[in-house]
Amino acid sequence: MHPLQQLMNPSSIAIFGASNNPMKMGSIQLANILETGYEGRVYPIHRSEETVMGIPAYRSIAEVGEPVDVVQLVLPTEVVPEILEECGKAGVRRAIVISGGFKEVPGDVGVERERQLEEVAARYGIRFLGPNCVGIMNSLCSLNTTTIIEPPMGGSIAFASQSGAYTAMVNPYLRAQGIRMCQTLSVGNEADMDLTDCLDYLRDVDEVKAVGLYVETIRRPREFIAAARETARVKPVVAIYVGGTEAGSRSALSHTGAISGPDELYDGLFHQAGVIRAEDLDHMFDLLWVLSMQPLPAGRRMAVITNSGGPGSSLAYHLEKAGMVAPPFSPQLREKLDAATGPLTYTGNPIDLTFETNIFIFKQLLELVYESGEVDGAFLYGIFGAPDFMVNLKKRLPQLQAMEESWDQGYQAFLAELAEIPRAHAGPLVVMSFLGKGSSSINTLIENGVAVYPSAVRSARAMRSLLDYDRIRHNLVSGGEKTL
């Protein structure tokens, strides 16, 4: 069993540094552990307080008197090695060291402190994350040890990161998109466990369908490549790397003590490792989202179905720019599409429904293009929030209210069915819409496994990543060289 298995799924957790002083980072983290639904035992360790936030506190780890699976340390740097030693003596074997002031600070003192930490851990067989990290989140046991509230728990994306901020502060952005994460691991300075360990662990977590990495340096390139290749055989790995410029490299050094290398070197490393490189964090989550939910396309031929010319033209343009094609449909297919649609519909590829207001037709069109065998995947842009149009109408025509409610019910059921079509036909679907998660229609699509992007270029890059991963997996499994 990988040491991260216990660290990420503890039956009990003790936290050092939490108190009744709300301005302490440890207090915020304890509040989050207590309020996120974690059902394990929680032990605040504090030298003087009898209770912390209403639960019993202990003067030391020894006083707890029961086995503790994981300790989280949020303490002044100087005392961290000594406290870790106390934990080791008490039988603790997994730790999360939040405290900073180690290798990432200039000068020898930080390096020496980190060495002490490693030495204590080795002596007691303690495996740990950090120092200089923000904690972990695991939606599978409702555990959030970070300072950030309300992680977007669920889904099947895991994220391991050399930036703690990125694993936790990104939450509001992800919530707004409708993207959820099931596990996050902030690795900090990686004094003990690193991104390679995270890959070894996450590979075998069945609930995780796609893995994201934020990289400032790879400390064990050979092991990383081996671990990533093994992982990419079973699930996609997407990474971002920002050490490859002068200032990026200088910043990484001061951040986690990382020695970074040129961009091209990391491009090569990721390529060899079967890792898809994303441009930035937002792009990485765009890709992880679709990769964690949609089937892989058999080829690069794409259908575009819209009810608006601009989005249709934009999708056609950007899918081609991203290395896919939107082939004109055959006369046989167009005949079928024409029969299903109104006179102002253009049934080439893109299909543009223009003034067609029967939105339910989308499902039929999608089935027709998949069944034709002429495409390997599809993009959809539509007026998914049709009830939104009615907001002002209802003020002027009150009789609409009842009509809208019955219509909306049928509409949500229709969208849920629509979302099943890609899996039934083993062809991926990507939806473009300007309606955000605030729209019940978009929520229905997302809840049923469809990724929704607010632009053509983001939609096209998402679909492209499915093709990229299909090629990577094929080559890793067969040893061949499948190209696009």
Interaction between residue 171 and its own copies (CB under 8 A): yes
Q: 350 to 409, contacts with its own copies by CB under 8 A?
A: 350, 352, 354-355, 357, 383, 385, 388-393, 395-397, 400, 403
Tell me the backbone φ, ψ of residue 229, rounded to 5 degrees.
Answer: -65, -40
CB of 376 to its own copies, least distance (A): 15
Which of 56, 172, 342, 480 binds its own copies (CB under 8 A)? It is 172
DSSP 327: P
51 contacts its own copies (rule: CB under 8 A): no
Q: State the Cα–Cα distance between residues 34 and 12, nearest whole angstrom.
A: 12
Cα–Cα dist 230/215, whole Å: 19
Interface residue with its own copies among 114, 192, 194, 216 (CB under 8 A) is 216
* Region 328-347 residues binding its own copies, contact defined as CB under 8 A: 328, 344, 346
Binding mask 405-444 for its own copies (x = CB under 8 A): -----------------------------xxx-xx-----
**Radius of gyration over every alpha carbon of the chain, rounded to an integer in angstroms:** 26
How far is it between the farthest Cα atoms of the chain? 81
Sign for the pseudo-dihedral over CA of 459, 465, 471, 473: negative
Q: Which stretch binds its own copies (CB under 8 A): 28-36, 198-206, 229-237, 408-416?
A: 28-36
Binding mask 76-115 for its own copies (x = CB under 8 A): ------------------------xx--xxx---------
The whole-angstrom separation of Cα 374 and Cα 302 is 8
Which lies closer to its own copies via its Cβ, residue 389 or residue 477?
A: 389
Which residue from 46, 229, 300, 318 is in contact with its own copies, where contact means CB under 8 A? 318
Q: Is 481 exposed, middle or buried (0-12, 13-18, 19+ CB in 10 A)?
A: exposed
Cα(271)–Cα(250) distance, rounded to whole angstroms?
25
Q: In a 3-state reduction of DSSP, which class is residue 127?
A: strand
The residue length of the chain stands at 484
Q: How far is the CB of 349 from its own copies (least distance, A)?
A: 7
Specify the stretch interacting with its own copies by CB under 8 A; choose among 38-46, 57-65, 417-425, 456-464. Answer: 456-464
Number of helical (H) and strand (E) elements in the chain, helices listed first: 19, 19
Least distance in angstroms from the C-beta of 33 to its own copies: 9
Q: Which is nearer to its own copies, 67 or 454 (CB)?
A: 454
Q: Which residues pair with 153 in a beta bridge?
A: 181
- Pairing between β-strand 210-215 and β-strand 302-306 as defined by DSSP bridges: unpaired
Q: Does 44 bind its own copies (CB under 8 A)?
A: no
Based on the shown chain and the rule CB under 8 A, indicate whether residue 183 belongs to the binding site for its own copies. Answer: no
Shortest separation between residue 283's beta carbon and its own copies, angstroms: 7
Among 59, 89, 250, 271, binds its own copies (CB under 8 A): 250
Q: How far apart are CA 418 and CA 412, in angstroms?
A: 10
Q: What is the nearest approach in angstroms of its own copies to the Cβ of residue 234? A: 27
Q: Residue 16: beta bridge partners?
A: 45, 73
Q: Tell me: does residue 245 bind its own copies (CB under 8 A).
A: yes
Between the alpha carbon of residue 220 and those of residues 159, 196, 217, 223, 226, the distances in Å are 19, 8, 9, 6, 10
| CB nearer to its own copies: pick between 92 and 136 | 136
For 329, which DSSP code? P
Q: Which residue number, 53 or 366, has a Cβ lying nearer to its own copies?
A: 53
Q: Side chain identity at 78, as an amino acid letter?
A: E
Does 214 participate in binding its own copies (rule CB under 8 A)?
A: yes
